[in-house]
Amino acid sequence: MSANLVIEARGIIKDRIGGLMRKKTRILNELELKVQEGEVYGLLGPNGAGKTTTLKILLGLLKPDQGEISILGKEVGNLQGLAQIGFLPENPYFYSHLTGSEFLDFIAQLFSIKKQERIKRKAELLKLVKLETYKDEPMHKYSKGMLQRLGIAQSLINDPALIFWDEPMSGLDPIGRKDVREILRDLKSKGKTVLLCSHLLPDINDLCDRVGILFAGKLIAEEEVKNISKDGSYIGLEEFFLTKITEAQSHGTT
């Protein structure tokens, strides 16, 4: 892997075969993606562009049909590499009979974090996501926004170097979104690398160093946010996104 690259994907192809006719649908089409150390990278695209599939392949949850991937200088799925990764899926699953504190403890044990460190990390993260008051409540009593906050906390339990967040603002009210933006800025100040998928362009504009636009399984454009939104408004990013998607549609990108 090249120096300072935390994520490097080359020529990634992923097909899905389904239905009675066993029809093949190409989800990722020779995808190329590079993310630098310490960068907050926003992966944008319309529904069905392949964003979630991309994350799953980078995490080793799905295998590509073709292509090469390096994550933190290691092969995808390497245990040492996985120990340095945090992940918040778009639709996280929680064991609803557990309390928030018990769930974080369970996740910490998966990373073999020792008891005293687990206690410390749980307390820090519950405070960070503002769930201290509810830490002993079973999760079936949590609102969607509270579950999302807990999902963010579990993605940070191992103090990861690389963080994958898929729609982290889902279910959050404006206060929750503000809190998450502050968390992400703090992660960035600590040199963490974040790959962020979101449809909320104001948040992407505010938080990301660079964006890539995925359409029909291809990365059709990349640019630094500062070059797109020179006045700080997300409108420039919106126009950039819509222009690139329209161009790709007119050219019949597949």
Q: What is the pTM of this model?
A: 0.91
Number of other CB atoms surrounding residue 39 within 10 Å:
20
Q: What is the pLDDT of residues 42-69, one digit of tens each?
A: 999 998 899 999 999 999 999 999 999 9
- The 8-class DSSP code of residue 223 comes to E
Task: Identify whether 149 is part of a domain.
Answer: yes
Q: Which residues contact 119 (CB under 8 A, 6 or more apart)?
A: none
Is residue 117 situated within a structural domain?
yes
Q: How confident is the model at residue 2 (pLDDT cuts 50, 70, 90)?
A: very low
Domains held by the chain: number: 1
Domain membership flag for residue 184: no
Write the pLDDT tens digit of every residue in 16-47.
Answer: 887 777 788 889 999 999 999 999 999 999 98
Predicted confidence (pLDDT) at residue 1 exceeds the cutoff of 50? no
pLDDT-based confidence at residue 118 (cuts at 50, 70, 90):
very high
Q: Whose CA is closest to 172, among 183, 185, 156, 188? A: 183
Q: How far apart are CA 110 and CA 193, in angstroms?
A: 22
What are the residues facing 164 on neighbouring strands?
87, 195
Q: How far apart are CA 36 and CA 2, in angstroms?
A: 10
Q: Determine contact, residues 237/211, Cβ cutoff 8 Å.
A: yes
Helices vs strands, H then E, count in the chain: 9, 10
pLDDT of residue 130: 95
Average pLDDT over residues 184-200: 93
Range of the structural domain that residue 102 is part of: 97-157
* 179 in a structural domain: no
Tokens 């994907």, located at residue: 9
In a domain, 125, yes or no: yes
- Rounded mean pLDDT, 76-97: 87
pLDDT score of 254 more than 70: no
Residue 227, pLDDT > 60, answer yes
Query: Cβ of 228: how many Cβ atoms within 10 Å?
Result: 19
pLDDT > 90 in the chain, percent = 76
